[in-house]
């Protein structure tokens, strides 16, 4: 018999966060999160997303053993502001037992129906900056710190619960040696001259900070047309600034401004942290910080996390200006492999930007949807 418990206490939340360490213990491709950061994600007083969203966390038990977890999420900005009557769910893990997953799906769907929502979709987080999708191809590849991993059996559990594929995502990579400056050097010089643009690069995080709020504003503008986009609020900007920017080498943040110093393009690249996080195994102490700092300084892998171009400048080659800046930085640092975070597989515009680098798709993932009517 399966019993389900709603997370109410600190010990419940710790069990929720640590459950993946149990089912992926012997999986070399799973990248553990930092436990303390995961706990803070669900702290309603610390994470500002809870001003516009709510999450109910569940733990599933069988024979008094923890066998599954899920976060049932409602983003009220999405539901009321965009009229998307969607029940979100994420942080969804379970043993290979259909009764366990069905019981947790039932909890998700019950909350959605209770609030008059029309469909459930997951796995997704609270917003577009959270992790998304279950792996459907590419199980024998390291996951990044910004993606979920899952066992191959998850797919049959979604199908058994009558969920259908909703959105597809691809993850790709290319060796840095594929990046040839002739693809963009002359173009970026012409583009800067034609539109009176200037590239900004940094060596100190403190110099980046004055631009970060503007960067998130541009993120909202440039991604607004994408499926299921939920804008970042002003209060969330401060939270993400604190949570992410310190993890990123300032040299890996690039901005493009116009003649009036208005931000019209940006890109954020992160060092490859997967191996460091694997060593840390969820803990910053006593050695986790050291592993992460070493990766920040010395990793030969980088991950393109975000690229945003103002709608007025899209399809005008501004990305060539950004690529030129990264080419110089990556050459200096001896970067070997470039990775891209999950991108919608029907976002052909972004795929065109990368085509000259001959990227290899190494993993696919999907979200799944079910009607609640």
Spans of all domains in the chain: 2-171, 175-362
pLDDT digits (tens, 9 = 90+) for 96-138: 999 999 999 999 999 999 999 999 999 999 988 899 999 999 9
Q: Express as a percent the part of the chain with pLDDT over 90.
A: 88
Q: How deeply is 104 buried, as exposed, middle or buried, from its count of CB atoms within 10 A (0-12, 13-18, 19+)?
A: buried
Average pLDDT over the chain reads 95
Q: How deeply is 365 buried, as exposed, middle or buried, from its count of CB atoms within 10 A (0-12, 13-18, 19+)?
A: buried
Fold adopted by 2-171: Aminopeptidase (3.40.630)
What number does CATH give the domain 175-362? 3.40.630.30
Residue 52 has pLDDT above 70, yes or no: yes
| Fold equal for 2-171 and 175-362 | yes
pLDDT of 337 = 98
Average pLDDT of span 134-151: 97
Question: CA-based Rg of the chain, rounded to a whole angstrom?
Answer: 21
Are 268 and 235 spatial neighbours (Cβ–Cβ below 8 Å)?
A: no
Average pLDDT of span 180-206: 95
| Degrees, nearest 5: CA angle 32-37-42 | 110
pLDDT digits (tens, 9 = 90+) for 328-371: 999 999 999 999 999 999 988 888 889 999 999 999 999 999 99
Are 134 and 167 spatial neighbours (Cβ–Cβ below 8 Å)?
A: no
Average pLDDT of span 141-170: 97
pLDDT of 231 = 83
Q: Quick one: pLDDT band at residue 228, thresholds 50, 70, 90?
A: low
pLDDT digits (tens, 9 = 90+) for 82-99: 899 999 999 999 999 999
């Amino acid at each position: 018999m399966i019993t389900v418990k709603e997370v109410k206490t600190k010990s419940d939340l710790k069990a929720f966060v640590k459950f993946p360490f149990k089912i992926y213990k012997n999986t070399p491709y799973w990248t553990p999160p930092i436990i303390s950061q995961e706990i803070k994600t669900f702290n309603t007083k610390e994470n500002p997303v809870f001003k516009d969203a709510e999450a109910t966390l569940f733990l599933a038990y069988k024979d008094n053993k923890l066998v599954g977890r899920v976060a049932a999420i409602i983003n009220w900005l999405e539901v009321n502001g965009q009229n998307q009557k969607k029940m979100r769910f994420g942080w969804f893990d379970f043993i290979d037992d259909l009764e366990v997953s069905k019981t947790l799906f039932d909890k998700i769907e019950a909350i959605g129906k209770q609030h008059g929502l029309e469909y459930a979709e997951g796995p997704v987080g609270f917003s577009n900056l959270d992790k998304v999708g279950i792996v459907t191809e590419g199980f024998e590849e390291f996951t990044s710190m910004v993606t979920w991993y899952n066992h191959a059996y998850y797919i049959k559990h979604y199908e058994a619960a009558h969920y259908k594929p909703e959105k597809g995502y691809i993850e790709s990579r290319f060796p840095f040696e594929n990046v040839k400056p002739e693809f963009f050097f002359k173009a970026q010089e012409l583009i800067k001259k034609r539109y009176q643009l200037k590239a900004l690069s940094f060596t100190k995080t403190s110099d980046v900070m004055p631009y970060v709020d503007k960067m998130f504003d541009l993120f909202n503008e440039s991604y607004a047309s994408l499926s299921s986009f939920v804008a970042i609020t002003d209060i969330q900007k401060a939270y993400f600034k604190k949570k992410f920017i310190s993890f990123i080498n300032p040299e890996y943040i690039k901005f493009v401004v116009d003649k009036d110093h208005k931000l019209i393009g940006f890109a954020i690249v992160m060092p490859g942290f997967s191996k460091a996080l694997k060593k840390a195994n969820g803990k910053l102490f006593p050695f986790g910080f050291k592993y992460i700092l070493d990766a920040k300084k010395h990793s030969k892998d980088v991950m393109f996390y975000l690229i945003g171009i103002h709608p007025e400048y899209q399809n005008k080659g501004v990305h060539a200006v950004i690529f030129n800046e990264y080419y110089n930085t990556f050459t200096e640092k001896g970067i070997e492999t470039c990775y891209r975070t999950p991108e919608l597989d029907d976002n052909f515009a972004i795929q065109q930007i990368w085509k000259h680098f001959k990227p290899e798709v190494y993993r696919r993932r999907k979200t799944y949807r079910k009607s609640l009517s």
